Structure 1
Amino acid sequence: MSVKSAVRVMEIFELLSEHLEGLTVKEISVSLSLPQSSTFNLVQTLCRGSYLTQTGVKKYKLGPGLIHIGSSAMDGLNVHSEGEAHLRELMKEVQETVFMAVLSEDKLVYVSKLEYNRSIRTGAKIGSKMPLYCTGLGKAFLTFLSEQKRDHLIEEQDFNKITENTITSKSALLEQLRIYSEQGYAIDDEENEEGLYCLAAPVFNARQEMIAAISIAGPKFRMLPNKESNVQRLLSVSERISKNLGYTKS
């Protein structure tokens, strides 16, 4: 689809959001000053994807295909806005770098990174994607997502060896995930960056779904002596963010 067509699709969505009763193809084309033939083709394409739906009087309305997209977008915005203040408080308490990440296909994407002034410098940047099998945040997703989703994601991993500590087999990873499930948090022990130790915990929404992960990362020599207290702080923050998003333990 060309850029021009993408713009037209967005214009159709915005127009129909203001006309919940629906509009005909002619009404859409007139309102947006578009050729009726190309408007028809776009509308039919969007109907096939359930992004639009047709009524009995040949009017078109926003369809159910947009519900999941909108819900996911809201979850992403909510978890970031709800988490920011808590992450800043956590960063000050532990005096290390803290992160928040969400899932994007078979990788994690950093959406927040807060560095304390003594923090170790990492290659992780907001917006960058990282593998799941060798990062604390990634292994938190693999631990606390549904079994079906977890198994699918594991099959997508390449298991490249990045450091001497990187796990490169599915069986070893599954054993780690079993332990992490029991203890409630995941660990990256110099598996993605030498010298870096990471503790990661899940964040859930009101539908009991894991939608993000948060972590504390720092040099191993400094993280290990404070591991117990850092774990308690991390889990406390992840629980508070989840609670604010409507999560209740079943």
Structure 2
Amino acid sequence: MTTGMPSGSIDKALTVLEALAEHSRLTDIAAASGLPKSTVHRILQSLIGWGFAFADGNGGYLPGPRILTLAGRVMSRFDPAQHARAALRDLRDRTGMTVHFAIRSGDEVVYVDKIEGRRPYQMKSRVGRAVPLHTTAIGKAVLAHLSAAETAGIIARAGLTAITPRSITDPGVLRRQLAAAAANGYAIDDGENDAEIGCIGAAVFDHTANVLGGISISALSFDLDLSSEALVTEVIGAARAVSLALGAPPARLDQAG
């Protein structure tokens, strides 16, 4: 939504359309949009004509079917990695470390983008690779935002297989780490998926306010201080930027933080 009073006709129409997503009464839409009721009524009639709104017969208004049609067309072409790229590149430039973006796929996360760090070595990870949730910083950040029942189901189905000697195989230990990740806004992988690699990750949310996946920074363990407040702040900030780029409601991000 635009900041301040919308001035142009397109700004006004978009402001009303956005308000329509959360309100149905003319008075409430006017209040949310900051426009006079007469202006809102006129815009709503135009939106109805275009199929972007309809009158519910009880004095209220609802989003119209054309919004769903348009949303479906847009989502069929929507590439989360493209929308996240600028924030991922900025995170790499600010930390110098390899950055990953992964999306949850069932009981795993799949890397959908990777930007190599500015170190004299490279990570062996690759786009398209699926990795366990419980051994990765991104995976644990995702688990931290699932319900206890859903997490229990994943543990029951996938198990807590040891990938390295440092992998967490005790459900109680994992749950304590997930509680800390939920409270702090980030998770770590301390040699749990690759004995020589450390990672700091944070969850990414989609336009429905559900956890989609996460981003992380990775480096050789001796080269990454997992307790660095500065690095944690960078990762959390980048995850928020990616979430916003994917349409996540800011209020949901404030709750997650």
TM-score (normalised: structure 1):
0.66
In structure 2, the partner of 1:182 is 183
Q: Per the alignment, in what secondary structure is the counterpart of residue 78 of structure 2?
A: helix
Rounded Cα–Cα distance in structure 1 between residues aligned with 2:201 and 2:84: 14
Q: Per the alignment, in what secondary structure is the counterpart of residue 144 of structure 2?
A: helix
Rounded Cα–Cα distance in structure 1 between residues aligned with 2:149 and 2:171: 15
Q: CA deviation at 1:120?
A: 4.2
Runs of 4+ residues deviating >4 angstroms: none
2:220 is the counterpart of 1:216: no
2:145 is the counterpart of 1:144: yes
CA, structure 1 residues 119+93, in 2 after alignment: closer, same or farther (shift >3 Å)?
farther
Query: Any gaps of 5 or more consecutive residues in structure 2?
Result: 1-67, 253-257
Work out whether residues 108 and 133 of structure 2, in 8 Å CA contact, stay in contact via their aligned partners in 1: yes
Rounded Cα–Cα distance in structure 1 between residues aligned with 2:223 and 2:181: 21
Q: Per the alignment, in what secondary structure is the counterpart of residue 180 of structure 2?
A: helix
Rounded Cα–Cα distance in structure 2 between residues aligned with 1:131 and 1:159: 9
2:120 is the counterpart of 1:114: no
Q: CA deviation at 1:241?
A: 1.6
In structure 2, the partner of 1:241 is 242
Q: Per the alignment, in what secondary structure is the counterpart of residue 114 of structure 2?
A: strand
In structure 1, the partner of 2:93 is 92
CA, structure 1 residues 144+179, in 2 after alignment: closer, same or farther (shift >3 Å)?
same
Q: CA deviation at 1:76?
A: 9.1
Query: Any gaps of 5 or more consecutive residues in structure 1?
Result: 1-66
Q: Per the alignment, in what secondary structure is the counterpart of residue 125 of structure 2?
A: coil
CA offsets, 1:151-186, max 9 Å, x none? 322222232222221111111111110111111111
Q: Which amino acid aligns with 1:139?
A: K
Q: Per the alignment, in what secondary structure is the counterpart of residue 212 of structure 1?
A: strand
Q: Which amino acid aligns with 1:182?
A: A
CA offsets, 1:101-131, max 9 Å, x none? 0111111110001102316433321001111
How many residue pairs match? The answer is: 181
Rounded Cα–Cα distance in structure 1 between residues aligned with 2:223 and 2:124: 19
Q: Per the alignment, in what secondary structure is the counterpart of residue 240 of structure 1?
A: helix
Work out whether residues 98 and 114 of structure 1, in 8 Å CA contact, stay in contact via their aligned partners in 2: yes
Q: CA deviation at 1:90?
A: 0.8
Rounded Cα–Cα distance in structure 2 between residues aligned with 1:194 and 1:120: 16
TM-score (normalised: structure 2):
0.64
Q: Which amino acid aligns with 2:243?
A: S
Rounded Cα–Cα distance in structure 1 between residues aligned with 2:107 and 2:247: 26
Q: Which amino acid aligns with 2:136?
A: T
Work out whether residues 119 and 218 of structure 1, in 8 Å CA contact, stay in contact via their aligned partners in 2: no
Rounded Cα–Cα distance in structure 2 between residues aligned with 1:140 and 1:219: 20
> Superposed, which structure 2 residues align to 1:37-186 within 5 Å?
74=75, 77-118=78-119, 120-186=121-187
Q: Which moved more, 1:111-120 or 1:135-144?
A: 111-120
Q: Which amino acid aligns with 1:90?
A: L
In structure 1, the partner of 2:46 is none
Work out whether residues 139 and 213 of structure 2, in 8 Å CA contact, stay in contact via their aligned partners in 1: no
Q: Per the alignment, in what secondary structure is the counterpart of residue 156 of structure 1?
A: helix
Identity, in percent, stands at 30
Q: Which amino acid aligns with 1:152?
A: G
